């Protein structure tokens, strides 16, 4: 056995012992030992599933989707050189969103670096501070002690990525400098007799080399330590993407009698206190002024609207800043985009709820929310035309319990936030860590694969046309690759629709070329080139039938950017008028 093969097979075995169930590779020569070890392990049983993508960026975002849906580390492997650079965007999203990734990059050995050797760049700490841990694994050598080193290295990488070693989950980068020979069965002249100097077995049974008995960063949660808050009627719970424990936050809102303002991908948008139209309420200066809170409890990464951020900055009824408690996402990590946090805690508990006055606060929020929802529905249902806000509302309602919905980071998630009715039973995910347009087709496929492997139901993705085109390579899967049950619903408004809702739209002369970017692409032809069936939605009533099918399929929904911006403004105006009719809280 040559050293590169020994290293790869040992590390892969140890990662599987730690719990690795999904791995993604992009083809390459220098990474051959890792690729072949993963292939061999996946061929030996169902514990590990292997995915192959021809493009490193698609591979990275597929791994991100798998990890985000499964909430466990996923390995992504690539060769040396610029291949590793193509994973950077996925690493950044994983860092910001706290998604556990194991990034294994093959590299040239030290003697080839800085010499102009083919496909050689500086890969040391390539991703900077975006990873929880970086390790230059060193050149594998045939000498005693390597087995313990490689296995403990794999365990530490797993613990750092999953958060078991303390801190929050996120990406880890292992850089492996591999000398030839790179394939099994090829003799290595540096290993006399080709006998390995020590056994390469792991711990007895399937136990990992190093165990982590407790999550250091979760000690306050495990021991019940929580920040005590005096009860007040005028409190609000705000949940953004990745809020950690959505069920506990929903219970907090119910026990306190506070409104729950939950973004779709927070996982908390259900229960009697969750409001569907809260963004319209916060857009109304009069409503926001009359509903200034004493306490805000926020979790995750809120930030889907300017009104929401302005509300986090709003003064309390007494004229001072309200107490703003941010639930952390792990030691040293919390989201405070408005910079108004007064406390950061692992959890909160309320005291003194026995003296509750009449709950007029919550009743006022609910009445205004109901009025806004009715006003929005009246505008959307005034005719039978297809629109992006109506599509978001109807898609979230049409999916069955147990379904997964992946939303693009721009207009789709915002339309869902304003139109999706609170409901349990579906899971909404989005790349809201860095909120990029990158890799959304691949991420949706990965999330659907992980969701369905765990016994979940069908999946859908709601993407814009630019996001779809940006990751078109994600559609091109080899025949042997597993395919999820995934309907990719693509809003085709021939360009960047979100810019039509922003100030840039007022500058008509440069707008179309530098912001609108009309492309005229035939999305159905692109899907056909990848062997993916595609259909065009004729009307809103055809959506349930269009979602049915098997494998990956594309549902194109054609809309207009100018008309979409005007419709959203009509909805906003109608909601503002309806909210004004309900006055101040009781």
Helix axes 561-580, 360-380, angle to 10 degrees: 140
State pTM to two decimals: 0.89
Residue-level pLDDT at 222 = 38
Residue-level pLDDT at 31 = 95
**Nearest C-alpha neighbor of 194 from the set 5, 469, 388, 414:** 5
543 within 8 A of 491, measured Cβ to Cβ: no
104 within 8 A of 174, measured Cβ to Cβ: yes
DSSP tag of 241 = B
CA distance 177 to 426: 44
At 38-96, the pLDDT tens digits run: 999 999 989 999 999 999 999 999 999 999 999 999 999 999 999 999 999 999 999 99
What's the average model confidence in pLDDT over 489-513?
88
How far from 371 is each of 44, 498, 565, 585, CA to CA, in Å?
Answer: 58, 26, 22, 14
CA distance 412 to 408: 6
Q: Band of the pLDDT at 215, cuts 50, 70, 90? A: very low
Query: Could you tell me if residue 303 is left (phi over 0), alpha (psi between -120 and 50 degrees) or otherwise beta?
Result: left
Residue-level pLDDT at 218 = 38
CA distance 133 to 193: 37
440 within 8 A of 465, measured Cβ to Cβ: no
Helix axes 3-18, 32-43, angle to 10 degrees: 50
Q: Band of the pLDDT at 224, cuts 50, 70, 90? A: very low
What's the average model confidence in pLDDT over 1-27?
96
At 307-360, the pLDDT tens digits run: 999 999 888 887 777 889 999 877 767 888 888 888 888 889 888 765 565 579
The secondary structure of 295-364, three-state, reads EEEEECECCCCHHHHHHHHCCCCCCCCCEEEEECCCCCCCCCCCCCCCEEECCEEEECHHHCCCCHHHHH
495 within 8 A of 76, measured Cβ to Cβ: no
Half-sphere exposure of 576 (CA within 13 A, CB side): 13
At 481-490, the pLDDT tens digits run: 999 999 999 9
At 390-425, the pLDDT tens digits run: 999 999 999 999 999 999 999 999 999 999 999 999
Q: Band of the pLDDT at 214, cuts 50, 70, 90? A: very low
**Nearest C-alpha neighbor of 579 from the set 284, 252, 352:** 284
Residue-level pLDDT at 208 = 93
76 within 8 A of 57, measured Cβ to Cβ: no
Q: Band of the pLDDT at 217, cuts 50, 70, 90? A: very low
CA distance 399 to 156: 40
110 within 8 A of 137, measured Cβ to Cβ: no
Q: Please state the length of the chain.
A: 586
Mean pLDDT (the chain) is 91
Torsions phi, psi of 315, nearest 5?
-70, 160
Q: Which residue has the tokens 């102009």?
A: 116
């Amino acid at each position: 056995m040559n050293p590169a093969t020994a290293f790869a097979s040992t590390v892969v075995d140890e990662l599987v012992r730690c719990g690795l169930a999904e791995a993604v590779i992009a083809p390459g020569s220098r990474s051959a030992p890792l690729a072949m070890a993963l292939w061999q392990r996946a061929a030996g049983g169902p514990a590990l599933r292997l995915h192959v993508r021809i493009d490193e960026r698609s591979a990275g975002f597929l791994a991100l989707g798998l990890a985000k849906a499964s909430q466990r580390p996923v390995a992504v492997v690539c060769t040396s050189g610029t291949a590793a650079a193509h994973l950077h965007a996925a690493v950044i999203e994983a860092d910001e969103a706290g998604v556990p990734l194991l990034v294994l990059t093959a590299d040239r050995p030290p003697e080839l670096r800085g010499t102009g050797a083919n496909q050689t760049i500086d890969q040391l700490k390539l991703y900077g501070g975006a990873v929880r841990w970086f390790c230059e694994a060193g050149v594998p050598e045939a000498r005693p002690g390597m087995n313990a080193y490689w296995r403990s290295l794999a365990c530490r990488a797993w613990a750092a990525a999953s958060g078991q070693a303390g801190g929050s989950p996120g990406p880890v980068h292992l850089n492996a400098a591999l000398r030839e020979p790179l394939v099994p069965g090829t003799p290595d002249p540096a290993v006399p007799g080709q006998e390995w100097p020590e056994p390469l077995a792991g711990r007895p049974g399937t136990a990992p080399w190093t165990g982590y008995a407790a999550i250091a960063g979760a000690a306050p949660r495990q021991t019940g330590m929580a920040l005590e808050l005096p009860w007040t009627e005028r409190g609000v719970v705000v949940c953004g993407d990745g809020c950690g424990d959505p069920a506990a936050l929903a219970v907090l809102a119910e026990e306190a009698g506070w409104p729950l303002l939950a973004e779709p991908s927070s996982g908390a948008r259900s229960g009697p206190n969750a409001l569907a139209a809260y963004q319209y309420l916060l857009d109304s200066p009069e409503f926001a002024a009359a509903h200034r809170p004493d306490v805000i409890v926020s979790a995750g990464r809120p930030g889907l609207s300017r009104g929401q951020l302005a509300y986090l900055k709003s003064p309390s009824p007494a004229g001072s800043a309200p107490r703003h408690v941010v639930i952390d996402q792990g030691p040293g990590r919390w989201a405070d985009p408005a910079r108004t946090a007064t406390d950061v805690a692992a959890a909160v508990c309320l005291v003194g709820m026995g003296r509750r006055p009449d709950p007029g606060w919550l009743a006022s929020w609910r009445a205004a929310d109901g009025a806004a929802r009715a006003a929005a529905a009246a505008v959307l249902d005034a005719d039978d035309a297809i629109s992006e806000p109506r599509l978001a509302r109807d898609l979230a309602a049409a999916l069955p319990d147990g379904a997964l919905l992946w939303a693009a980071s721009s207009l789709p998630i915002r339309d869902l936030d304003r139109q999706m009715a609170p409901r349990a039973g579906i899971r909404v995910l989005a790349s809201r860590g860095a909120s990029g347009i990158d890799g959304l087709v691949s991420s949706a496929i990965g999330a659907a694969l992980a969701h369905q492997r765990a016994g979940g139901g069908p999946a859908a993705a709601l993407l814009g046309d630019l996001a779809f085109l940006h990751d078109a390579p994600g559609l091109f899967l080899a025949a042997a690759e597993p395919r999820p049950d995934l309907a990719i619903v693509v809003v085709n408004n021939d360009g960047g629709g979100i810019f039509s809702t922003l100030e840039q739209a007022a500058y008509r002369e440069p707008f179309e070329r530098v912001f609108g970017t009309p492309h005229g692409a035939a999305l159905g032809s692109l899907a056909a080139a990848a062997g993916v069936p595609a259909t065009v939605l004729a009307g809103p009533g055809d959506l349930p039938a269009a979602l049915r099918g098997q494998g990956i399929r594309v549902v194109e929904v054609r809309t207009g950017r100018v008309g979409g911006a005007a419709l959203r403004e009509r909805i906003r105006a109608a909601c503002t008028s309806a909210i004004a009719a309900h006055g101040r809280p009781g």
